[in-house]
Chains A and B, each alone.
Chain A
């Protein structure tokens, strides 16, 4: 595999769907390092389906999706090293504390200074006071922040988030949007599904609008307006 080329993700005529039935597409797309791509659309338009197909969690109905030249197989080590994904999960080990969950991610990615990275995310996501708490003691918003902390803690080339703003208060939403912008500036590409126009405008530099089975490339302003129209 050639890991030096600039394309992190390429979609060629990609059609997302289930069991041979189209949901949306076709899509031609190239995502390069540092690019921030928002995905917007109405409920049931197929945004999450598209996202899952783009990152290889789901077979495309037609076309192909290529990550880092060839790897869309999540059983490959390099894929797991390079791609950080958070879908709408809410899964934790009941006997591991907040801090231990993050230590697991830092250790599993072989980070050179794992505890420092953990401390940074605990501070950023305002989880310091809850660092020794078990998941059952956390509020819904705190659990969401823990998942996001895990995604941002680890190194990655491509960060994929499905509606990360959900269950976050406005202050944390704004902080997360700024953080995503900062992450993109370091060279990590972003693929983010969102329903929040302000959030979208804060981090994205281009938008995919999914509507009536069609996917179109639009500007950030038009994407935000599409969300606002509902």
Chain B
């Protein structure tokens, strides 16, 4: 122990010691054994990236190919689509970049894992060395991620003849987007050094809101013929990748210099980031990383939702100790005395969960906002674009309404303590989601009926289809929530035999296929003029089938499945 008088011992700080180097030496023997495993991992990663690129580029090419032609040949009323495609794309990319920055800020970018948090951060050594290494690793990953995102868009747009460009230009565009992502990460890291992560994310939210409001203002200005915001959209950094792709090689060069300078300036300040911030971001990153490794989009969503609010949630939990429970407005809307049995108890509890979850509201609003924004773009009325936007909106809304079912799937005790059969519980989950999604569907149908200029009869049909879509989406949400766990052992065995793709796709589309099919009748109604009454019959059939498929899911919750998988030998059963 130190002497009672600390002055003597405390004189020898900081200690000249590099924990990063120490760990590398200690881990060297272990790492050598894993060399071929690492090579195998690298091979699989490259193969996966190539496959994803091939699919994405093919889809992008097909999309751009379809978009060629008369932009006015859409299904929405003449004159509604006023925002040019370039401006709409700039707004979309800007929103995507701000969203990516919010994600980066929630997950770090400067962060330590739990072991580093305990064993390294308590040492009286300079943190700059290992923190800058950790940050550099993340920046490199971020660059490749951003660059990879641009490649299918770039190749699709050039090969599809939408823009002029060359293969070199596409790579310049990719490098530019990658560097933009790096700059965003450096910005987030700078906020960490100022202990301003929370404020930074608040500013990002405001910036996203500002982009949406600017889009709305542009629509109003153009609709009334009083001006436009074309210059504003052109000035946004979101236009830089396209500029580089068009041949402006200096764009990535300037960005690269800015990134290098930014990193050099920032590295010396990393010491200022408090341990609690590094540990909190690291925990969020580990959660997200595990979800990615398992390819579990539900867990990934939870990691994103929980990451930024990790500290906030703990504070909220502590505050709850001193607050009178059930005193909020939602509890007053759904008073406890309405409960008459297990079904109503479950409905009330799940509705309260959904209504109190901010992500539910954001998801439902996004589900409306995506198709609405498209309607006001020049090419948004293109049948393919409108159909895609409605489907994307439907999936966003259904995911938002699935939060309670997802929680129930993750916590088996929630179902175990209610004296209801599994089928009854699934029906109740779907009913709760439907209570929200039916309203969402009718609201969307009402707006789109106006947008496509449907007559009163057509509007009635579309409203009915919106209602039916809500039921189908709710069933899809429950099916997605109770998706069976993927048996990786079986998949790897099948991959060796060359037939793993089918089960993998089946796994990742579980629930989403029901959501998409449920919205098909509504999409068809929007594209047909006049809207056939028979679509209502089709909508009823689809909704009934979707409800049946979505709620007859007999998969048990995650914990039960984990137990079952330990007891069974699926590899032998599913093998060739």
Contacts and interface: CB of A to CB of B under 8 A. Distances in A.
Contacts, number: 142
A133 to B, nearest CB: 13
B124 A78 contact: yes
A104 B23 contact: yes
**Which of B5, B10, B114, B271 has the largest number of chain A CB atoms within 10 A?**
B10
Contact of B9 (A74, A81, A108): A81
B15 A21 contact: no
Question: What secondary structure prevails in chain A residues at the interface with B?
Answer: loop
Contacts of A33: 4-5
Interface in B1-23: 1-7, 9-10, 12-17, 19, 22-23
Contact of A157 (B6, B30, B118, B126): B6
Interface in A1-49: 3-4, 8, 17-19, 21-23, 33-34, 44, 49
Interface of A: 3-4, 8, 17-19, 21-23, 33-34, 44, 49, 57-58, 68, 73-75, 77-78, 80-82, 84-85, 89-97, 100-101, 103-105, 107-110, 147, 150, 155-157, 183, 186-188
A5 B517 CA distance: 74
A23 B321 contact: yes
Interface string B426-441: 0000000000000000
Interface string B254-290: 0000000000000000011111100000000000000
A58 B123 CA distance: 19
The number of chain B residues touching the other chain, given as a range, is: 35 or more
**Which of B14, B16, B117 has the largest number of chain A CB atoms within 10 A?**
B14
A3 B5 CA distance: 8
Given A156-B2, A183-B1, A89 B118 contact: yes
A182 to B, nearest CB: 9
B2 A155 contact: yes
Contact of B30 (A18, A95, A108): A95
B4 A77 contact: no
Contacts of A23: 318, 321-322
Given A4-B5, A156-B2, A109 B119 contact: no
**Which of B31, B115, B120, B122 has the largest number of chain A CB atoms within 10 A?**
B122
Given A34-B4, A89-B114, A96-B26, A18 B314 contact: yes
Contacts of B30: 95
7 contacts: A17-B318, A21-B319, A78-B10, A91-B118, A95-B27, A103-B26, A109-B15
A192 to B, nearest CB: 15
B306 to A, nearest CB: 17
Contacts of B494: none
A19 B315 contact: yes
Contact of B316 (A17, A19, A74, A186): A19
B23 to A, nearest CB: 6
B114 A91 contact: yes
Contacts of B115: 91-94
A57 B276 contact: yes
B318 A155 contact: no
B316 A150 contact: no
A166 B6 CA distance: 30
B276 A187 contact: no
Contacts of B31: 95
Given A75-B274, A95-B30, A80 B2 contact: no
A82 B6 contact: yes
Contacts of B19: 104, 108
A75 B344 CA distance: 52
Nearest to A152: B1
A184 to B, nearest CB: 9
Nearest to A3: B7
A23 B12 CA distance: 38
